[in-house]
Each structure stands twice: as structure tokens, then as C-alpha cells.
Structure 1
């Protein structure tokens, strides 16, 4: 009985904290499964892609509208939203989503959810999305490269991702250091979205995966100390 009361009390506390947070106009970051579940629970979900129009045109969550704080018609878009219903926001990382969510909170929107990992998490988790292009790289081609080379380093990201750009000089350094011993594949969302979706293991950009004889040695969600990690992994084999 005490255990039951404790569980009930904890549930009640979480519930009232959630209500209090949203009543103050704050947003909540959700992982993919929780975000997706809440979206699917709405008949006409209010989904906002807070990226730029060029990014949105290439790929986006089906049913999303595209605007952010820098959009010329921002006020028009906000007025079209229902502040009494949940709003779901994503971008490529958290920056633009966070700014938009904060402004909606100030305007009285009480339920604002941000997708942790943004579009990378959505597509990388295999959820349905719109794309206006065909992937340059297919999953069978990807698997063939991984299986036919002893060491393969895969860089998965986007040209619109700031952190992803810092990976490029590191990859060039690794190419110079290891030559043919290390095969490096660079996969960008703007070129091969379907293979990212088919992998179903991408949560953020960049994602780095090192294979040896077709098996994963390590998978990094984010850059970290990539050069040292690769050197350490290859030196021990």
C-alpha cells in the first residue's frame, strides 16, 4: 500500500510540475519516440520546421510549415497557430528551435515541444518524411563499401550543420595519415536522406561510425575527439 501511494504521489508531482512548467510558457525537449507519439495523437498537429527555406525545400517532416524568427512573414505564421494546442518544433540542432519556442512561450503558447536532435533524429529514426531528391547512395551500396574494406569511417551530417563543418578538416587529416588503410564515406542529408533513414541509428548530426570488417568499432553521436578515437582504435588492431 505504501508503495502504491508513493507511486501515485510521484506521478502527481510530475503531472503538476509539467502543468506548472507549461503555464509559465516554457518548452520541453523530447526524444524522438515521445515527440512522435505526441504528434500522432493530434488530428492536425501544428509542426514547425524552424530551418531555412532552402533546407525545408530539400526535406522535411510531412505536414510541417516552415518559418523561424527571421522569416519576413513571421507574425502571419504565428497568428495562424492555435495557442491552446500543442506546437511541435524542430530544426537541424537546437538553436533555431529554442529561439522560436521561447518566443511562442512569451506569446502565451503553453505546450511547445522541441525535437531533440532535430531533423537528424526524425529521418535517422526512420520516421516518414518528404524529400524532393533521390539518394545518391543506397543502403545496399553502403553495406557493400563497409563489407569490402577493412576499416571504414562514416561521417553522417548536413552542409547546414555548423558542427559538421568542423569534421571536414579532421577527415582530411585522417586521409593523409592512413591512406588506403582507412576508407572514409561522407553522407550528407541533402544528398542521401534515404540511406540515413534506412540505417535507423542516427540521432544527431554529425554521427561518426567506424567499422572493422563490417562490424562497428565505435559510433559517436557528435564530434567528440574524433582524431584521437580513430588513432586509438586503429593502433590497438
Structure 2
């Protein structure tokens, strides 16, 4: 049987070329570099792709808000100048990365994506006011983790895909391990003060405490079987 390799090679070349072009258009940078480029770019275009509720709770000054999950996202971003740099961010970086890829497809010539999103931005800003406590306070949290049993804390958000995937089995474990392990889930959007104080910068973040001291930490998705090995 004769196999023609030319079409396959051509397709591979086109995919690689597309990826190379996109890497030139999209630049994912840390909070410090993002802030510096924002400051030095005249009339900077800044886009927050989170939900309106998240945006109203906290956002970077002068940002416009267009929800990445809205059906008309492609249409609404047309208000921006495609020939000028567009700065994009979300809460932790996942949605803005997806949005940046779509914006590149739509013809935007330069996109700066905030690595780690608003969580990293707030953690890197020592001047951010912290006198007002929103949600759980640090003393309350310290009281929660002080126990003669193991304590598992799950920092999550409703918009976080891996968090939603883990939620069902965490709920089952909470019942199955009752009396042996205390499992608590903390929504970072409802508890921004504690999130910043503990420098939680990626989701999900799971922490196991033994006698009030951190014994183990995991960032990102983990399977039920792998998590049980640490409990």
C-alpha cells in the first residue's frame, strides 16, 4: 500500500508555523513585567476576562471587563484596536490564556497575558490595602487548622475547572473520613483577605495540617487515589 507523506508533512508544517506565529503575538509575563509594560504603554488597552461579579469585587485600575464565557466575546472585543498592544488577565491565568489564543486568531497583533492572573498581581503588590478583612480572617483560619486530627484545606473557586472536577470526591471523603480527617473547602473569591495573606496564587491548592503545622501541599488537580495516599 502506497502512503503519500506530502499532505501530512504540509499539515504538520502549517501547524508548527501557526504555533510559532502565535508565540510571537502572545507574551505571557509575570506581574512585575506586566505592571511595567502597562505603565510605559500610552493609552494601554487592559482587558479583564472574568465574570462581572468577580470584576466588581476587585480589578486592576482602568480595566475593561468582557466575560470570556459570554457567547458574544468575539464581537465585544472588536472595540479594541488590534494594531496596539492588548493586556489581558483573569483570576489565575487559565481563562486569560484561552482568551489570548482567541484574540490572536481574531487578528490582534500583540497580546500581553498576565501569568498567574490577579492572584499573582495582588500577591506582588505590597501597597495593596489590607486593613479590611473580607471573609475568613487569619486568626479564624489558625483556629480551624489547630486540631489533634489531620486537617485538609481545599482552596478553590467556582470558575476553576479542576476544582469542580475534584469537588464530588472531596464531598464523599468528608463523609467517609469523618472523625479521622477534617476537610474544609475555602472559596478564594469569598475570602480574598485570607487568600492574599497565605499567598495562595494557583488553584486548586490543597494543604494538609498535622497538629496545626503544614505537612503537605499540592497545587493543581490531584486524583482521589493520590490524595488518599497523603491522608
TM-score under structure 2 length normalisation: 0.72
Q: CA deviation at 1:50?
A: 0.9
Number of the residue aligned with 1:30: 29
- Greater CA drift, 59-68 or 41-50: 41-50
For residues 14-66 of structure 1, give each alpha carbon's deviation from its aligned partner in whole angstroms, at most 9, with x where no partner exists: xxxxxx957x8621223444434444554654321112223322333333210
Number of the residue aligned with 1:135: 134
Change (3 A) 1:175 1:112: same
The correspondence of residues 85-234 of structure 1 with structure 2, limited to 5 A, is: 86-92=85-91, 96-106=95-105, 108-123=107-122, 125=123, 127=125, 135-200=134-199, 202-225=200-223, 227-234=224-231
For residues 87-110 of structure 1, give each alpha carbon's deviation from its aligned partner in whole angstroms, at most 9, with x where no partner exists: 221224555423432343355543
Ranges in structure 2 where 5+ consecutive residues have no aligned partner: 1-19
Q: CA deviation at 1:197?
A: 0.9
Taking only aligned residues, the RMSD between alpha carbons, in angstroms, comes to 3.4
2:221 aligned counterpart, secondary structure = coil
2:135 aligned counterpart, secondary structure = coil
- Distance in structure 1 (CA, Å) of the matches to 2:73 and 2:170: 40
Q: CA deviation at 1:165?
A: 1.3
Partners of 1:68 and 1:96 within 8 A in 2:
no
Ranges in structure 1 where 5+ consecutive residues have no aligned partner: 1-19
Partners of 2:49 and 2:90 within 8 A in 1:
yes
The correspondence of residues 67-86 of structure 1 with structure 2, limited to 5 A, is: 67-68=66-67, 70=70, 72=72, 75=75, 77-81=77-81, 83-84=83-84, 86=85
Change (3 A) 1:27 1:58: same
1:176 aligned counterpart, secondary structure = helix
Count of matched residue positions in the alignment of Structure 1 and Structure 2: 209
- Distance in structure 2 (CA, Å) of the matches to 1:68 and 1:230: 33
Partners of 1:164 and 1:206 within 8 A in 2:
yes
For residues 103-147 of structure 1, give each alpha carbon's deviation from its aligned partner in whole angstroms, at most 9, with x where no partner exists: 433555433122233334334x354779xx962201121122223
- Distance in structure 2 (CA, Å) of the matches to 1:230 and 1:76: 42
Q: Which is richer in helix?
A: 1
2:178 aligned counterpart, secondary structure = helix
